[in-house]
Amino acid sequence: MNHYERPEAFNPEALRKKISEIRTAAPEETIGEKGATELNPLARQIALQFRADTYSPTMITGLIRLLDFCVLFAIGYGINAYYVRPAVEQLPVYLAILAGGSALAVAAIQIADGYQVPALRAWLRMTPRVLGAWATAFGAIALALFFLKSGHQYSRVWIAGWFIGGALFLIAQRAFIAYSIRHWSRNGTMERRAVIVGGGQPAKDLIRTIEHQPDNDIRICGIFDDRDERRSPNMIAGYPKLGTVNELVEFARLARIDMLIISLPLTAEKRILELLRKLWILPVDIRLAAHANNLRFRPRSYSHVGQVPMLDIFDKPIADWDSVAKRCFDIFFSVAALLFLWPVMLAAAVAVKVTSPGPVIFKQARHGFNNETIEVYKFRSMYAHMSDPTARSAVTKGDPRVTPIGRFLRKSSIDELPQIFNVLKGELSLVGPRPHAVLAQTRNRTYSDVVEGYFARHRVKPGVTGWAQINGWRGEIDNDEKIRFRTAFDLYYIENWSLLFDLKILVLTPFRLLNTDNAY
């Protein structure tokens, strides 16, 4: 058998196809929150120890790139402003050289692998390579000025000062970052938290492999396995088995987990698929360990945890810099909405106050990101003594609990505008699956009882508006099909998210709100 030959007993393409079917299946075909059970005391205690957020290596290295660009630009600009003092008409050219040189330096360091975490740890060993990248960027600038026949127009003192100042900064910065990374690794600020799914000898081998590799940033939080102690001991490689796979769902809701690593052979296809049907609803990366398998695929088929090869099954949606971009999007458009809509909100608040006694703002407990409970704000649309914070009884057409002004607010969706403040607090996004009340139900059944995999829509922050709403799925949910379709549209949004998709939904929302057939 050659290196890439695949035995007939195992078909990885078939496995990937079945995994894809789990990802895109109708919600009623998957296993969801019903599998979750109460955690045992030990698992709960350990989960609470990992409640604090961490910073991923991707975020840290991205910030270092940004820092390099800004400081190198600032050094060059400072020397230029102090020594050269160019005329106003010359300034754009100097700024272009500074920006281009700083960007080239970052690109050259990236090509030299200077932003990899192991390289950042070993700053002394990497110093020649980083300085070489900085010199390469300068060489490219000098070459460009030579071909443009304009090198004589620029101060050699400025160029030399910028090069030397930048080099000293890069050396000092790398030394400080190496110290910081060691400190962050010790106190848990910079780590990736992983849970091992599956026990026995495969899990033991996997843990030993991860722990023995240099510059390990994986913190193993525990092991979950359905098998009893005869096949899967309660203590594996020094880590406790914290419960079953069903309990893992609740554990991942309490702890800030980054990754689930399934430690099973690739040939255990049926069991892997059973696990994925339970775990895909969680907002984490799901990886299948491939270190102990005799099968070998092409390198691009793998990702790596350190040196351990993994097959990517599911990725956490809207993670790392995507989450930063979405947060900036939310803040920018929320502030713009407040500046534009404050007269409407003021008028609505006055109308609610003068037409019926009670508070202007109605607060309701709803499901947020990762199934956490958040308090969502709305303009009160019901008589205060008839309000239903639990949303057990859905509002229906002609509902006597709704005030006359409340009926208008609900039809126009003006009652939702206070949720902009939830967005600014970071509890909601402008665009995402709409948050449903914790006890919301249809025909005396909660939504999770109607739709298997319903809680997969909570893998991202809920939104003020969403893909389901602009496609007509808003308002009363009085039958099973409505919540199934809503969930299907929400899952499509999560799988296909982009900033342009968010912008499209946001732009279409005011026009689609003109359809008030289902809004009571």
| Predicted confidence band of residue 5 (pLDDT cuts 50, 70, 90) | very low
Residues 19 and 131 in one domain: no
Q: What average pLDDT does range 162-180 have in this prediction?
A: 92
| Predicted confidence band of residue 24 (pLDDT cuts 50, 70, 90) | low
Would you call 374 helix, strand, or coil by DSSP?
strand
Q: Does residue 520 sit within a domain?
A: no
Domain finish residue from 294, 314, 334: 314
| Predicted confidence band of residue 396 (pLDDT cuts 50, 70, 90) | low
On average, the pLDDT of the chain sits at: 82
Domain finish residue from 158, 187, 216: 187
Alpha-carbon torsion 277, 282, 283, 287, what sign? negative
Residue 29 has pLDDT above 50, yes or no: no
Q: Does residue 271 sit within a domain?
A: yes
Which DSSP symbol is given to 437? B
The answer to pTM > 0.85 is no
Domain that holds residue 497: 321-512
Domain finish residue from 268, 288, 314: 314
Residues 346 and 468 in one domain: yes
Q: Does residue 306 sit within a domain?
A: yes
Residues 287 and 226 in one domain: yes
Residues 139 and 195 in one domain: no
Q: Which residues contact 466 (CB under 8 A, 6 or more apart)?
A: 431, 432, 433, 434, 489, 490, 493, 505
At 26 the pLDDT is: 43
Residue 394 has pLDDT above 70, yes or no: no
Residues 131 and 259 in one domain: no
The whole-angstrom separation of Cα 145 and Cα 419 is 54
* Phi, psi torsion values for 326, nearest 5 degrees: -65, -35
Residues 268 and 327 in one domain: no
Residues 325 and 386 in one domain: yes
At 300 the pLDDT is: 52
| Predicted confidence band of residue 302 (pLDDT cuts 50, 70, 90) | low
The whole-angstrom separation of Cα 78 and Cα 298 is 49
Torsion of CA 432, 436, 441, 446, to 10 degrees: 70
Residues 141 and 287 in one domain: no
Q: Does residue 260 sit within a domain?
A: yes
| Exposure class string for 257-291: b at 16+ Cβ within 10 A, else e | bbbbbbbbbbeebeebeebbbbbbbbbbbbbbbbb
Over 274-315, what HEC string results?
A: HHHHHHCCCCCEEEEECCCCCCCCCHHHCEEECCEEEEEEEC
| Predicted confidence band of residue 20 (pLDDT cuts 50, 70, 90) | low
The whole-angstrom separation of Cα 82 and Cα 74 is 12
| Predicted confidence band of residue 389 (pLDDT cuts 50, 70, 90) | low
Asked if 338 and 331 count as a contact pair (C-beta separation under 8 A), the reply is no
Per-residue pLDDT tens digits for 307-317: 778 888 888 99
Q: Does residue 5 sit within a domain?
A: no
Residues 345 and 483 in one domain: yes
Q: What average pLDDT does range 295-300 have in this prediction?
A: 51
Q: How many domains does the chain have?
A: 3
Strands 259-262 and 285-289 come out as parallel
Q: What average pLDDT does range 221-231 have in this prediction?
A: 82
pLDDT higher for 345 or 22?
Answer: 345
Which range of 11-15, 212-216, 333-337 scores highest in mean pLDDT? It is 333-337
Per-residue pLDDT tens digits for 93-144: 888 888 998 999 999 999 998 898 888 888 888 899 999 999 998 888 878 7
Q: Does residue 7 sit within a domain?
A: no
Asked if 305 and 287 count as a contact pair (C-beta separation under 8 A), the reply is yes
* Phi, psi torsion values for 385, nearest 5 degrees: -75, -10
CA 48 distance to own-chain centroid: 21
Residues 226 and 200 in one domain: yes
236 DSSP β-pair partners: 239
